[in-house]
Structure 1
Amino acid sequence: MDIMEKSLELHRKLKGKIAIRSTYPIKNKKDLALVYTPGVASSCLAIKDNKKEVYNLTAKNNTVAVISDGTAVLGLGDIGALAAIPVMEGKCAIFKEFADINAIPIVLDTKDVDELVKTISHLAPSFGGINLEDISAPRCFEVEKRLRDMLDIPVFHDDQHGTAIAVGAALINALRVVDIPLDKAKIVINGAGSAGIAISSFLIELGVKNLIVCDKNGILDPSEQDLNDSQILLSQKTNQKHVKGSLADALKGADAFIGVSVGNVVNKDMVKLMDKEPIIFALANPTPEISRDDALEAGAKIYGAGISNIPNQINNALVFPGLFKGALAHPVKQIDTEMEKAACHALAGLVSDKELSAEYIIPDVFNKDVVKVICKAIIDVKASQ
């Protein structure tokens, strides 16, 4: 069986990848009286008198909601809320396995921004953080912004910021391999959805100066009729040399390509247009923009992808467990850009000069130090603010 068949068989067997358990054994009436009525009333009253006590007396201190409307699931698109549940469960399992954070999958059967914001805001008191997942652009930008303004717990759209942090760390180290400063590199991003926009904005924050973003119509141009507000703003901040044309035109002389689009949109000839020792991050899932074999045969020095069965997997699973662990350890209102940059540099820094190579630019997700260093980075930034 291939991986898809094996996965389906496993899901049928498990009937759910997560479970809820009690942290205190209830074996007799005394135990019951302590965890439930009448004893539980004392905790309720303590929280009533001081709301901050909720973090000391309930699971809110270590519980995250993973919430989606099913409109942008992996590489599958708008498959609906029910079909999104396996992905949300998987994310919750990663939270628990890698960071010992309790996470609850929640799918909402609406595409209306107002309804999403209203529902999530009403659910928020139960959780220490909100992880938005697989919500399509441009609605995801408004949903996240409005919730961040409303709530006093972290709201983090992982498809945007988690992906951006992982890509940023991989790019920093890839450029170390080819000895090109970040502010001198020409970077081309294909895909102007939630991930592409977030990656672009984050790379600018990191110090990238020469950045071109493309969508299905080619290089983003402010005059395009069908751009949303976020894409218009991005087009005004990028392509400072005013290059016109297609993705192939954008790639001429580029040092790095980052794909967050669709499979098979880059060919060998396009790779050959890039500068010497090109860097290719083909992150479309499950089919990358160009295969590893084709990219390397065309002269790519470094290849990274979102899939797990090749070197240099660039995946937001490297980021969100440690990020939320840090944000929950010393509760923060929101995860800000400085925290994201610190997490990015911490992740990149786990690859030493001795370890660094074309086939090892970013730590493996099973490296136990990943969560630790990202968590510490978040805590250190909070302490300095």
Structure 2
Amino acid sequence: MNAPVSPFVSAAQAALDYHALPTPGKLGIAVTKPVNGPEDLSLAYSPGVAEPVLAIQADPADAYRYTAKGNLVAVISNGTAVLGLGDCGALAGKPVMEGKAVLFKKFADIDVFDIEVDTKDPREFIDTVARISPTFGGINLEDIAAPACFEIERALIERCDIPVFHDDQHGTAIVLCAGLLNALELQVKRIEDARIVCLGAGAAGIASMRLALDLGARRENLLLVDRKGVIHTGRDDYASLNPEKREFAAEPSERRTLAGALAGADVFIGLSGPDLVRDEWLMLMNERPIVFALSNPVPEIRPEVALKVRKDLIMATGRSDYPNQVNNVLCFPFLFRGALDVRARVINREMKIAAVQALAALAREPIPAEVLAAYGLKSLPFGPEYIIPKPLDPRLRDVVAPAVARAAVASGVAQLPYPPPSRLHTA
């Protein structure tokens, strides 16, 4: 006799069914013009399509007028750092890239082609992406392992005349720093004075420390920690470290372990792995500490453990089931929306800072009733358990994207004013 089948479907099977049924994948392509008869067909293709071809040949900027380029982003990966799963390969990373595309469309109405490039060679990857870049209005690099990700992004920014953005670096850094500014305010501390320890010297860790410096942190107050301890100029392997790690190397001192680094620290940022921080180490930190344990799904230290030993801390994680989730979806759709709206050539320092400040400011505003209802909450005031906006907050697009667009215009990298001509009010 067969065993009874459980009426409950496992979470893993539910995820597989979601992606498989009723149509495989999470994306489709929609036609935006009528194709109902021979007249439409002659306009959509031959002979009518020759007219925009000739117009674009005469003036490449007309591609933004006659094609979907201006609202089309490529989400591109080689699958070498997929989520927390590691080097899964280009094809296995495709569900993540499709997921990214869904978020772009859902939150910012940006169309996306996901592209998986089957190479681990940075030069091959760079050449491939650069050659297909005319198709797009922007490029979002995703799930590419460090240190190759730094070389890839840097080279593509130089070779392409559209925004190139590695979300694992800068998206994380922007949301993290927005929460950090608010946490510092609540803890009555200044970023200029804060002693910051970052565990994790990969893409997100390096980008977060760079952005913290742009926001006013002082280099002498930063300690970057990798698997071998604090990165400092006296380490035996210093000469073999990649340039990004050496950029944050401290002077030699007795603070060479994570525990030593946390002694007297104001801020701990974890972008590394599960359960790497002992609860007793938190006791070494300054009063009113800030702990961002962002390893996902298992944080460097769990909030219930951390709060048991430090009642005075403010904590964030990468998980949705704890307060203060550092989630990249708060950033990348709206950053690209702002960049595309003014046809920015790059995403620069000023645009990233504008996104940080907009996110931080939004969290200080009263939260709408619809957001409270979505999360099953009666209230959520700005405070230790609410330092970053919620991903379903509909104000994000109206706050973050314009801030980014204005920063692009002010910094001279935009090709259109803000609001762009199509959205300017006329008398």
TM-score of the two chains, using structure 1 as the length reference: 0.96
Paired position in structure 2 for 1:62: 71
- Cα deviation code 1:255-300 (max 9, x no counterpart): 1111000111012111121122221111111211111111111215
Q: 1:366 aligns with which of 385, 388, 392?
A: 392
Letter aligned with residue 8 of structure 1: L
Q: 2:242 aligns with which of 224, 228, 235?
A: 228
Paired position in structure 2 for 1:352: 364
Greater Cα shift, 300-309 or 358-367 = 300-309
Q: 1:307 aligns with which of 308, 311, 319?
A: 319
Quick check: 1:383 aligned with 2:409?
yes
Does the CA contact (< 8 Å) of 2:232 and 2:251 recur in 1? no
How far the C-alpha of 1:12 sits from its partner, in A, is 2.3
Quick check: 1:179 aligned with 2:193?
no
Q: Distance in 2 between matches of 1:313 and 1:35?
A: 45
- Cα deviation code 1:23-80 (max 9, x no counterpart): 1131111111121111111111111111100011100000000000101111111111
Quick check: 1:10 aligned with 2:18?
yes
Q: Distance in 2 between matches of 1:271 and 1:343?
A: 30
Quick check: 1:121 aligned with 2:121?
no
How far the C-alpha of 1:6 sits from its partner, in A, is 2.6
How far the C-alpha of 1:3 sits from its partner, in A, is 4.1
Does the CA contact (< 8 Å) of 1:257 and 1:280 recur in 2? yes
Q: Distance in 1 between matches of 2:155 and 2:409?
A: 26
Q: Distance in 1 between matches of 2:213 and 2:44?
A: 50
Q: Distance in 1 between matches of 2:264 and 2:26?
A: 46
How far the C-alpha of 1:222 sits from its partner, in A, is 2.5
Quick check: 1:332 aligned with 2:341?
no
Q: Which runs of 5+ in 2 are unaligned?
A: 1-8, 367-380, 412-427
Paired position in structure 2 for 1:246: 257
Q: 1:98 aligns with which of 97, 104, 107?
A: 107
Q: Which has the higher contact order (CA 8 A, sep 6+)?
A: 1
Paired position in structure 1 for 2:377: none
How far the C-alpha of 1:2 sits from its partner, in A, is 5.5
Q: Distance in 1 between matches of 2:15 and 2:192?
A: 42
Paired position in structure 1 for 2:290: 279
Identity in percent: 45
Larger Rg: 2
Q: Distance in 1 between matches of 2:324 and 2:170?
A: 19
Letter aligned with residue 83 of structure 1: A
How far the C-alpha of 1:329 sits from its partner, in A, is 0.7
How far the C-alpha of 1:382 sits from its partner, in A, is 2.1
Q: Distance in 2 between matches of 1:66 and 1:353?
A: 32
Residues 1:3 and 1:222: Cα distance change in structure 2 (over 3 Å): farther
Does the CA contact (< 8 Å) of 1:213 and 1:219 recur in 2? yes
How far the C-alpha of 1:5 sits from its partner, in A, is 3.9
Residues 1:105 and 1:358: Cα distance change in structure 2 (over 3 Å): same
Q: Distance in 2 between matches of 1:204 and 1:11?
A: 41
Letter aligned with residue 391 of structure 2: V
Greater Cα shift, 220-229 or 111-120 = 220-229
Residues 1:29 and 1:135: Cα distance change in structure 2 (over 3 Å): same
Does the CA contact (< 8 Å) of 1:26 and 1:32 recur in 2? yes
Paired position in structure 2 for 1:261: 272
TM-score of the two chains, using structure 2 as the length reference: 0.87
Q: Distance in 2 between matches of 1:80 and 1:107?
A: 9
Paired position in structure 1 for 2:376: none
Q: Distance in 2 between matches of 1:231 and 1:179?
A: 30
Taking the TM superposition and a 5 Å limit, the aligned residue runs for 1:40-59 are: 40-59=49-68
- Secondary structure (helix, strand or coil) at the match of 1:195 reads helix
Does the CA contact (< 8 Å) of 2:350 and 2:408 recur in 1? no
Q: Distance in 2 between matches of 1:35 and 1:86?
A: 31
Q: Distance in 2 between matches of 1:126 and 1:71?
A: 24
Letter aligned with residue 309 of structure 1: D
Q: Distance in 1 between matches of 2:189 and 2:300?
A: 24
Paired position in structure 1 for 2:31: 22
Letter aligned with residue 247 of structure 1: L
Alignment length, in residue pairs? Answer: 382
Does the CA contact (< 8 Å) of 2:293 and 2:300 recur in 1? yes
